[in-house]
Structure 1
């Protein structure tokens, strides 16, 4: 075996163990008994200790020094393994295991605090998470010109910085705020009313998942408090949730998570259990879930088909026709919850979190002041007050599990989706003919070939530039939103 062969054999075992650790996290969110939380935190810490030891094994440096790339795939594998080793060796195994243990336990404490509307009950645990993640960020930033926050961001969006994202978001905000004001000043369609049984919602959401290309022979759909996708290769699982008065929450959460899962399932099978065998970044990942959910799933053509499916499943549910249904699905209204926000306001929810978490990491915002800062910023951005913590600072799971630097990738994913959608429509100008029949195959095949199959072969900016035919820009997203909602609201 060559040095490259030995390196990749070792890496495949590490990747396989990482998949096992991910499955523990999936189980914790879906099926684990509540009383198992403390033991699970120890199991997660043990797995992270094993993984960290492998990621810092001294043999890696020897193999990397001797390995020769025979093609672009090998070169990309070596690049990503080098990056992983450089980052892992900066973090003591004690710290890696402690973060895994504390964040596993924190997730359950956050869920209980959220259910009880009790911010104070979560703050002591959150303080531990924040302290550990700051320590990790400082270790990663040491010896570089990166800030602590930029070092954290690099875990989710390699090459991005707070400065580059701030410039992008500053370019988004004025047109978003203006569009939001004009839309909210117009007459909104009547909200959906009635009750929709869970079994019917789950049946239709499964049909939607299959329609968007989710392969249930290598996946499954379960329920969770916060929908998510987990795994890669031949085992990619998603979750959704139901609300008896809001079936759209179930349907579009499912489509969104299928976007993530389809990306993982579509990656070239030759890349499985290698550094190339998962999505290249969370921003690119989010571009897939958002284009599935919004540009395709909320289009006039597709909602026309979905209207018929709703009538088949639930009978007459009080919406007169497909045009009214399209307006209802895309209704812009005040709301607290990021995951339920309409396309016009969604990114404003993300920008709030981006600014607050940077202030937390830098120390400019004390943890005891976070709830007040959230509430003040929310009122300033959205014009009304947060009514309870589960609609405010406790609504998202991310900070409880230490995902600092993750939130901005949601808006970055929207920007990437705008670029991809523009290119997709140019290449398939009659796409609405398909979507009107509920047929997404040409669209999802285009995305598979342009983005998904490559996995981690290219950098995030490279894959979007190659697929979209242009460097990432906010303009396609803003143009899409303004055209769509000007038409919907007769602006």
Structure 2
């Protein structure tokens, strides 16, 4: 066999083991007994050690050095690009650090969940301090003298920098704040849905919506978790949601958000399964799918008209006087605490807060002990309300407990990419609303599958968006979409 074939065989086994580790994480968040946390941490640490040894196997370097790329096609060259990048990063990390991170973050998930449920920041602080210490060590090893935060960000959005993200946020913030202020001063206060909505009925409707948006149940499932997430790739892609009988939109739109992630992984060319190219190319592109499914499609006037009718059929009530009031409730703008339940106007302000705080944490300008006060001060300044309890503030997100520093800005990058894709989608599918008004998103999801999802990691993140849209991604289409949509909803 050629060196290339040997290399790909090695990586297929590594990818398969990584999927097993992902399944352990899914199990921990959904059905694992509470008393299993300590043992699961040891299991995760042991498996991470195996994966690290495979990712730093000296044969990888020898295989890479001996491969002549001259006769390779685009897919083969993309595989090598991903392998080189992964190998370079893995070689800079000590195995002991990788295993310790896996152990600590696995244990931290349970501690965070306990602290969140009890509104007890002090219970989580020692563990968070340890996670931050380890992530600073990891960043220093990866950065090799460069910017620590950039080294972590590169794991989620290759090629992006903290400075570049900060500059984009600086361009976005004035228009977002202006839109927010005009909405708050409009004199319109669209009421939220009222009533109680049974948990099982919510999940039944969530599954129906997921089907209409192209989620493949032969290769997926829906479960419940504290924080909704997607796990897996290829032929086993699982999603979760959460249910509140007083707030059905949280369940439905969290599900739809995760369907975007799940459909991306399910939509990748099967020829790429269990290879480095067989995943979403970056978290920003991944978020573009979850956000366009959830917002531009799922919160559109056309789809909300169908959803209003289904609410009446499923629950015996819609919680709103008519379809227009229901659409306004779905797109209600208010200064809520929870990022995952935030309206489209406030959402990116939530991300900007987290981005600034986690950059300061990694740089050492902020310590875990001071994080709650920093969060609460910034939230009051940005949203005009005081945080009422830690579960609605610094404890609301799972990300820092599992070491996902550098992940948060990809949510807004995903929104930016989604804005570009939606502009191109409306031009390519002019009768888009006709399908959405019947509850079906197939024309949109077919286009997204062909132009974004199927290539997997074949192209660089920004290149994926540019190839789909015909122009380089920028924040303009997203901000224009928000101004137009919410200008109409609030009569601006």
User: Normalization by structure 1: what TM-score?
Assistant: 0.99
Query: For residues 332 and 107 of structure 1, what CA distance do their matches in structure 2 show?
Result: 31
Q: Which runs of 5+ in 2 are unaligned?
A: none
1:337–1:395 Cα contact (<8 Å) kept: yes
Partner SS, residue 245 of structure 2: coil
Partner SS, residue 399 of structure 1: coil
- Deviation at 1:317? 3.4
- Out of 432-441 and 409-418, give the one that drifted further: 432-441
Query: For residues 272 and 338 of structure 1, what CA distance do their matches in structure 2 show?
Result: 32
1:4–1:68 Cα contact (<8 Å) kept: no
Residue number in structure 2 paired with 1:174: 174
| CA shift digits 1:155-183 (9 cap, x unpaired) | 00000000111111111100000000111
Query: For residues 319 and 79 of structure 1, what CA distance do their matches in structure 2 show?
Result: 52
| CA shift digits 1:199-228 (9 cap, x unpaired) | 110000000011100001000000001000
Query: For residues 176 and 335 of structure 2, what CA distance do their matches in structure 1 show?
Result: 15
Residue number in structure 2 paired with 1:78: 80
- Out of 352-361 and 184-193, give the one that drifted further: 184-193
Query: For residues 189 and 21 of structure 1, what CA distance do their matches in structure 2 show?
Result: 45
Tell whether 2:8 aligns with 1:20.
Answer: no
Aligned length: 489
Residue number in structure 1 paired with 2:313: 312
- Deviation at 1:430? 1.7
Residue number in structure 2 paired with 1:94: 96
Query: For residues 297 and 172 of structure 2, what CA distance do their matches in structure 1 show?
Result: 22
- Deviation at 1:366? 2.0
- Deviation at 1:348? 0.2
Matches within 5 A, 1:444-459: 444-459=445-460
Residue number in structure 2 paired with 1:295: 296
1:156–1:406 Cα contact (<8 Å) kept: yes
Residue number in structure 2 paired with 1:431: 432
| CA shift digits 1:302-342 (9 cap, x unpaired) | 00011111111011334222111111110111210000000
- Deviation at 1:191? 1.8
Query: For residues 363 and 396 of structure 2, what CA distance do their matches in structure 1 show?
Result: 22
1:110 to 109, 112, 119: 112
- Out of 259-268 and 365-374, give the one that drifted further: 365-374
Instruction: Supply the RMSD in Å over aligned alpha carbons.
Output: 0.7
- Deviation at 1:412? 0.5
Residue number in structure 1 paired with 2:397: 396
| CA shift digits 1:15-56 (9 cap, x unpaired) | 000000000000000000000000000000001000000000
Residue number in structure 2 paired with 1:193: 194
1:153–1:160 Cα contact (<8 Å) kept: yes
Residue number in structure 1 paired with 2:53: 53
- Out of 114-123 and 47-56, give the one that drifted further: 114-123
Residue number in structure 1 paired with 2:255: 254
Residue number in structure 1 paired with 2:133: 131
| CA shift digits 1:409-468 (9 cap, x unpaired) | 000100000000000001112211111111211100000011000100000010011111
Tell whether 2:144 aligns with 1:142.
Answer: yes
Matches within 5 A, 1:27-46: 27-46=27-46
Query: For residues 321 and 395 of structure 2, what CA distance do their matches in structure 1 show?
Result: 38
Partner SS, residue 218 of structure 2: coil
1:213–1:444 Cα contact (<8 Å) kept: yes
Q: Which runs of 5+ in 1 are unaligned?
A: none
Query: For residues 247 and 281 of structure 1, what CA distance do their matches in structure 2 show?
Result: 30
- Out of 234-243 and 315-324, give the one that drifted further: 315-324
Query: For residues 378 and 100 of structure 1, what CA distance do their matches in structure 2 show?
Result: 31
2:309–2:318 Cα contact (<8 Å) kept: no
Tell whether 2:257 aligns with 1:271.
Answer: no
Tell whether 2:391 aligns with 1:377.
Answer: no
1:267–1:453 Cα contact (<8 Å) kept: yes
- Deviation at 1:120? 0.9
Matches within 5 A, 1:150-161: 150-161=150-161
- Following TM superposition, the consecutive aligned residue runs of length 4 or more in structure 1 with deviations greater than 6 angstroms are none
2:333–2:343 Cα contact (<8 Å) kept: yes
Residue number in structure 1 paired with 2:287: 286
Partner SS, residue 336 of structure 2: coil
Partner SS, residue 222 of structure 1: strand
Tell whether 2:361 aligns with 1:367.
Answer: no
Query: For residues 90 and 184 of structure 2, what CA distance do their matches in structure 1 show?
Result: 48
Query: For residues 422 and 137 of structure 1, what CA distance do their matches in structure 2 show?
Result: 37
- Deviation at 1:66? 1.1
Tell whether 2:212 aligns with 1:211.
Answer: yes
Query: For residues 127 and 198 of structure 1, what CA distance do their matches in structure 2 show?
Result: 37
- Out of 63-72 and 345-354, give the one that drifted further: 63-72
Query: For residues 319 and 176 of structure 2, what CA distance do their matches in structure 1 show?
Result: 31
2:355–2:409 Cα contact (<8 Å) kept: yes
Query: For residues 205 and 110 of structure 1, what CA distance do their matches in structure 2 show?
Result: 27
- Out of 229-238 and 422-431, give the one that drifted further: 422-431
| CA shift digits 1:274-323 (9 cap, x unpaired) | 00000000000000000000000000000001111111101133422211
Residue number in structure 2 paired with 1:414: 415
| CA shift digits 1:98-126 (9 cap, x unpaired) | 00000000110111111111111111111
Query: For residues 191 and 30 of structure 2, what CA distance do their matches in structure 1 show?
Result: 35
2:319–2:326 Cα contact (<8 Å) kept: no
Query: For residues 242 and 76 of structure 2, what CA distance do their matches in structure 1 show?
Result: 40
Query: For residues 172 and 326 of structure 1, what CA distance do their matches in structure 2 show?
Result: 26
2:219–2:235 Cα contact (<8 Å) kept: yes
- Out of 423-432 and 251-260, give the one that drifted further: 423-432
| CA shift digits 1:210-253 (9 cap, x unpaired) | 11000010000000010000000000000011001110000000
